[in-house]
Amino acid sequence: MLTSLLLTAGFALMGAGIGAGIVAVGAGLGIGRIGGQAMEGIARQPEASGKIQTAMLIIAALIEVISLFAVVVCLLIALNGNLTF
Amino acid sequence: MSVILLTFSAAVMAASGGDEDKTSFIMHHIKDSHEWHFATIGHTHVTLSLPVIIYSSDRGVEFYSSSAFVDQDTHHFGVEHDGYYIDENDKLQSVDENRSFTDLSITKNVAMLFLILAVTFYLMLSASSYYKKHPNKAPRGIASFVEPIVIFVRDEIARPNIGPRYKKFTPYLLTLFFFIWIGNLLGLLPGASNLTGNIAVTITLAMITFFITNFNGNKDYWRHVVATPGVPLPLLLIIVPVEIIGLFTKPFALTVRLFVAITAGHIVILSFIGLIFVFESYAVGVASTLMVVFINVIELLVATIQAYVFTLFSAMYIGSAVAEHGHEH
């Protein structure tokens, strides 16, 4: 009985931690790809670097927010993780 | 496997006793409160006790200072005064459970809202009074700060996305942009309250956009939602519910995007500062402070970008609602 209680609390917190880590991978992949394409664009046409840089920052903010959705969920699990029932 | 899990949970449960105050200080900086706590110098808490305003049908409007609900020794809420008390979630409760009342207090977020209003009014009124006094001349002073931003919102956000009827909606977009931008920036100051990261505030802004979009929708807009043209009937049965849900996911995305971006930024900054207190070492102190400075600069950028993105998406939704029928079917 006690074992199953502790196991459930442990699973929830472990899930929150692993989830936050995977979210970081997703955000890194997305923003890294945007950055890479932006670098390529600037290398091809250095005069357009201002416009490309602005667009890149805006898209990076959007992608980052999606990863933050998931971080908030993980944070909610972790902060309410001392479940007693 | 189960042994590993048991060790995880045992370690967390043992640690959670000491960590309680270390994570709760993050929440204390993010959440709303009935008093504005600026700093704690030694043993003195520098706080501003904000008014508590309660409306109930039997007792009418009542004014208190929130210091009446604070225990003077431990400086925590919980003292009962006149039948009300503030519980550990900083929410006003009545001692008699069955009474219903409306909490109209000036909390930290409301006071911050008034501060943002004051800053925005000052910016806009000084700019407009300059233009009245010096017509047809190049702007100087605050007007020269405000004018490029106003032109940016009008020419890059409003006009391309809304089209010929952009003048009617530009004041709303300008208000949105300046309110969110100044709110984000002021929220980054130490001791400030996290207004634009409060989901109630962002949901209100998104709802205003929602109402403006849908009350200005013309026939083409509604036809696209309810009876999408050029779609055969079986597909229509799937597409129409999806379109109607899409009406609501747009303000939902606006809400959560702004809320999460600002709140997560604040949490990261506060976590790095909290790390110093967890480790209690000089090396970590120096490294953490550098990280905090770096992330604060990124948050400045995020403040501007989130204001721009909210305004841009609002403009796009309004534009799609008032668009004249341009494409062939």
What's the domain range around B252? 108-322
Minimum distance, in Å, between the CA of residue B289 and any CA atom of chain A: 22
- Confidence check: pLDDT of B17 > 50: no
B184 and B97 belong to one structural domain: no
Domain end call among B81, B103, B125 = B103
Give the mean pLDDT of chain A. Answer: 84
A27-80 fold: F1FO ATP Synthase (1.20.20)
- Same domain, residue pair B98 and B179: no
Residue B13 scores a pLDDT above 60 = no
Specify whether B122 is located in the same domain as B262. Answer: yes
pLDDT tens readout for residues B198-208: 999 999 999 99
pLDDT of residue B205: 95
Residue B11 lies in a domain: no
More reliable by pLDDT, B311 or A64: B311
Q: Minimal Cα–Cα distance from B137 to chain A, Å?
A: 30
ipTM of the complex: 0.74
- Final residue in a domain of this structure, among B43, B78, B103: B103
Facing B9 at nearest CB: one of A9, A64, A75: A9
DSSP label of B38: E
Residues B122 and B99 in one domain: no
Q: Are residues B169 and B70 in the same domain?
A: no
Residue B110 pLDDT exceeds 80: yes
**Are B171 and B56 in a shared domain?**
no
Domain assignment present for residue B24? The answer is no
Least Cα distance to B183 among B268, B113, B122 occurs for B113
When pLDDT is averaged across residues A40-45 and rounded to a whole number, the result is 94
Evaluate whether residue B224 is within a structural domain. Answer: yes
Question: What is the pLDDT at residue B219?
Answer: 87
Question: Where is the domain boundary, B88, B103, B118?
Answer: B103
A18 touches chain B (CB under 8 A): no
Say if A79 is an interface residue toward chain B (CB within 8 Å): yes
- Contact between residue A82 and residue B16 where contact means Cβ atoms under 8 Å apart: yes
In a shared domain, residues B163 and B274:
yes
Give a yes or no: residue B204 inside a domain: yes
At residue B28, the pLDDT reads 81
- Using pLDDT thresholds of 50, 70 and 90, give the confidence band for residue A85: very low
**Structural domain contains residue B14:** no
Chain CA centroid to CA B136, Å: 38
Mean pLDDT of the B219-244 span: 86
Look-up: residue for tokens 């006003």?
B92
Residue B17 resides in a domain: no
What three-state secondary structure class fits B56? strand
Do B93 and B125 fall into the same domain? no
pLDDT tier for residue B315 given thresholds of 50, 70 and 90: very high
Please indicate, yes or no, whether residues B243 and B185 belong to a single structural domain of this protein: yes
Residue B14 has pLDDT above 50, yes or no: no
For B63-77, B101-115, B193-207, which range has the lowest pLDDT when averaged over its residues? B63-77
Total tally of structural domains belonging to chain B? 2
CB contact under 8 A, B305 and A68: no
Q: Kindly determine whether residue A69 and residue B256, on different chains, have CB atoms separated by under 8 Å.
A: yes
B310 compared with B328, residue with greater pLDDT: B310
Q: Quick one: which of B64, B108, B66 has its CA closest to B86?
A: B66
At B255-291, the pLDDT tens digits run 999 999 999 889 889 888 888 888 888 888 899 999 9
Within chain A, where are the H helices? 2-44, 49-79
Distance CA A16, CA A81 (A): 9
The residues, ordered by sequence, that sit 6+ positions from B2 with a Cβ below 8 Å of its Cβ are A3, A7
Domain spans, chain A: 27-80
Q: Which residues pair with B94 in a beta bridge?
A: B84
Most A CBs within 10 Å: which of B2, B12, B295, as the mutation test of the A interface? B12
Kindly report, residue by residue over B207-231, the tens digit of the pLDDT: 999 999 999 888 888 888 888 788 8
Residue B278: inside a domain: yes
> B230 CB contacts (<8 Å, ≥6 apart)?
B329
Q: What is the mean pLDDT of chain B?
A: 85
Choose among B13, B256, B309: nearest Cβ to A61. Answer: B309
Domain contains B25: no
A61 contacts in chain B (CB < 8 Å): 261, 302, 305-306, 309
